[in-house]
Amino acid sequence: MSTSAVPVNLDEKLSQFSELWAQKKVATLNDYEVKLAKLKGEFVWHTHEDTDELFLVLSGRLTIQLTDGNVVLGPGELFVVPRGVEHCPVADEETAILLLEPAGTLNTGDAGGRMTKAAEPLS
């Protein structure tokens, strides 16, 4: 344990990348991954058929558009999008989030397209 027993400082990890919409893996919990991302603008409408997805806003403001309304999250607020629920994140200002979901969950879910990108380790 001794070499890996170092906390993950979220601000420090966020300072290590600037790419928007990339998902950076910072920890694993069983078969789940904790990921950080920076968002600005609108993502794509998509659905994860097999898993819920947790969003925790660290800075900025995130709107999660759902087909029957929006959820608006500020810093220190979290929301779980249930599996099978179509959603589309949008951020008017640059927003930093923590994401939690099973390893291998694709960012664009069932939608695919040019914004599809596998999560990457953040060293």
Asked whether the CA dihedral 120, 10, 52, 85 is positive or negative, the reply is negative
Cα angle: 57, vertex 91, 89; to 5 degrees: 80
Q: From CA 97, how far away is CA 39, in angstroms rounded?
A: 8
Q: From CA 26, how far away is CA 98, in angstroms rounded?
A: 10
Q: Is 7 helix (H, G, I), strand (E, B) or coil?
A: coil
Tell me: does residue 66 bind a second copy (CB under 8 A).
yes
Tell me: does residue 30 bind a second copy (CB under 8 A).
yes
Tell me: does residue 10 bind a second copy (CB under 8 A).
yes
Q: Taking contact as CB under 8 A, which single stretch among the options 17-25, 37-45, 65-73, 107-115 is the one that binds a second copy?
A: 65-73
Tell me: does residue 102 bind a second copy (CB under 8 A).
yes
Tell me: does residue 122 bind a second copy (CB under 8 A).
no
Q: Where does this chain bind a second copy (CB under 8 A)? A: 1-2, 5-11, 26-30, 32, 34, 51-54, 58, 66-69, 71-73, 76-80, 82-83, 85, 100-102
